[in-house]
Amino acid sequence: MSRLAGRILCGGWCGALLVVACGKTTSGLTALGVVAGQSGESGGGGVGAVSGNGQSGGGHVSGGGGQVTDGGMPDAGGANSGAAGAGAAGTSSVMPCLMGDFPVRACDPSQQACGSACGNQCVDLSVDAVHCGACGVRCPAQAGCNAGSCGAEPDDFVAPLPGCLSLRLAEESGILYWSDLGHGVLGSRALSGGAVTTLASGLQLGVVQGPWSSLQGTYFPLTDPPPSAEIVVDAGTVFFVAASETVQQKDVPNFLCHNVDGQDVCAPDGPPTRRWVGAVGTSIFSVSTGAEPRALLPEKWAPGPSPVSSALGLEAPDLNPPIQAITLSLDSNTLYFAAGTRFYSIPSSGAVSAADVKEVGRTRGPEADFADALASDAEHFYYSTGDHVETFDFVAHCSAAEAAFPPTCPARISGSLYNPLLVERPHVQGHFLYFAESTNLWQADLSAGDLATTQHTQFAGALDQGTVTSVAVGDRLAYFAEAEGNSGWIERALLPPEGSAARPPEALARAQSSPSSLIVRGKSLYFATADCHIKHIEDALP
């Protein structure tokens, strides 16, 4: 029998590599056993054998190991030979473990070994979509596995919209509305089905921007692809942010900066970079079915730059700051919006003069961040910035001194540090606020005395540890989208007190292209994807 050079890990022991058999072989060798050592020859002892642990059908360890027996000693003219250990016979097919393969291993009690006897994996049959309920039972490509059963795949609610760049969804009274950034379209369709309605076309929709870049002399969209600002629907009227130009890709110069005598000195560095630019929100419009879009805030009355954030370099000193987000008061009479680092209001019927545009607040810092998305209740805004979720009382306004450093107002929500849910508004339900922070979901109790110091509840984490892009809340469940390239997920988790971070979420759909803008009505879910689909799936789980 010939020997192969090298060593291999088998059964937790790294021995001289002869021929290792995983599973029962035609010669009756035991699972993970080793061929018996050769008789010692003059000048070199034989090599003893290590027995392996038998296994049955790709399952758990069952056989007992034999002992290692040394061959003849060097120079002894060995008459001794190594004896193979006796493991229980396996039942899997012939499968030699060669270099780079790993033999079957014991799994945690909650898992099952699936695959070949060599190179197998431990899986949870209750949730693994490739081994759902039993080894080798593969769910449909976009379906989840829960309690050992495959779910359904999502379907297209409307025909795909290639070239959309960004889709944002909203729902009211059984009608789904969306904005299509790439085509400049607002559309709608009844949840019960029927034809698609185009509310408006030829629009230049606004994009959520990051801070001003003084070197490049422009604002850049917050993410790539560029995210359009959210839309708001009330009584069949869609409110949206418009821009004076469309978003487009341009070659942008790069700079390398050095500090010289306390001053940054910058010079062009390398070839330019292709980036999205433009579509800065400059005005606010509304549109209803069968009517033309109507300007509620014309660009000429839009707020100018804040002297505070301009001095900090967040806003351009000679341009209006980008209008980022909008929301309506509970009585629908007032439209609130964020422009740069400040908040403003106008009548929801539209401003008739510049005097109708009223400043109502500023982000904390002083004015250290842009608000990316707004939610509101009777007295407060809730909004996300680059690092936090903050809440602002627009009845008892923060003064400039309170918002200055060290700031005491607006309040920051405990637990929201590090990449909270961007671009999409936090969700307010009762006296709780729900938001995502990177890969985790949080519930903030708004009845707590000091939201900045109160410890709120982390109640779920993304299955694949991808970034949570959208959250929608029902009576007992939170639904959320997880973006991980083309491997995104739609998941659900129980709300506290039933839900906790120790209890994993359930997967409703997988293999989605960066899903976002999640809408939930009863057991029906609707969401947008980065590859320009608006999809629907029913939650069939108990």
The per-residue DSSP string of 434-446 comes to EEEETTEEEEEET
Concatenating the DSSP letter of every residue in 444-493 gives EETTSS-TTTS--EEEEE-TT-PEEEEEEE-SSEEEEEEEBTB-EEEEEE
Which amino acid, residue 401?
A
CB distance 102 to 118 below 8 Å: yes
Q: Residue 160: is the preceding peptide bond cis (ω within 30°)?
A: no
Quote the pLDDT of residue 266. Answer: 85
Quote the pLDDT of residue 430. Answer: 82
Q: Which among 246, 258, 116 has a CA at the least distance from the CA of 185? A: 246
H or E element at residue 400: helix 400-403
Q: Measured between alpha carbons, how far is 319 from 364 in angstroms, rounded to an integer?
A: 22
Per-residue pLDDT of the chain (542 residues; tens, 9 = 90+): 333 333 333 333 333 333 333 333 333 333 333 333 333 333 443 333 333 333 333 333 333 333 333 333 333 333 334 443 343 333 333 344 444 555 555 777 778 777 765 556 788 898 999 999 998 899 999 999 999 999 999 999 999 999 999 999 999 999 999 999 999 999 999 999 999 999 999 999 999 998 898 888 899 988 888 999 999 999 999 999 999 999 999 998 888 888 888 787 888 888 999 999 999 999 999 999 999 999 999 999 999 999 988 988 899 999 999 999 999 999 999 999 999 999 999 999 999 999 999 998 888 878 888 988 888 888 888 888 877 888 888 777 777 777 777 777 787 786 666 666 655 777 788 888 888 888 889 888 888 777 776 778 889 988 888 889 899 998 889 999 998 767 899 999 999 888 777 788 999 999 999 999 999 999 999 999 999 999 999 998 88
Quote the pLDDT of residue 171. Answer: 97
Quote the pLDDT of residue 138. Answer: 94
Question: What residue segments make up the domains of the chain, in order of their start?
Answer: 1-119, 124-153, 156-197+413-542, 204-412
Is 156-197+413-542 a CATH 2.120.10.30 domain? yes
The count of other CB atoms within 10 Å of the CB of residue 180 is 24
The single-letter DSSP state of residue 420 is: B
Angle at 369 between CA 300 and CA 483, to 5 degrees: 105
Q: Measured between alpha carbons, how far is 85 from 62 in angstroms, rounded to an integer?
A: 14
Quote the pLDDT of residue 224. Answer: 83
**Burial annotation 228-238 (CB, 10 A radius, 16+ → b, else e):** bbbbbbeeebb
Quote the pLDDT of residue 306. Answer: 93
**Burial annotation 96-123 (CB, 10 A radius, 16+ → b, else e):** ebeeebebbbebeeebbbbbbbbebbbb
Q: Which among 469, 386, 379, 395 has a CA at the least distance from the CA of 428? A: 379
Angle at 539 between CA 456 and CA 197, to 5 degrees: 100
**Burial annotation 23-50 (CB, 10 A radius, 16+ → b, else e):** bbbeeebbbbbbbbbbebeeebbbbbbb
Tell me the residue length of the chain: 542
Q: Measured between alpha carbons, how far is 520 from 408 in angstroms, rounded to an integer?
A: 36
Strands (E), 11-65: 13-16, 21-22
The single-letter DSSP state of residue 301 is: G
Look up the pTM and report it. Answer: 0.79
Q: Which residues contact 110 (CB under 8 A, 6 or more apart)?
A: 124
Sign of the torsion angle spanned by Cα atoms 25, 30, 33, 38:
negative
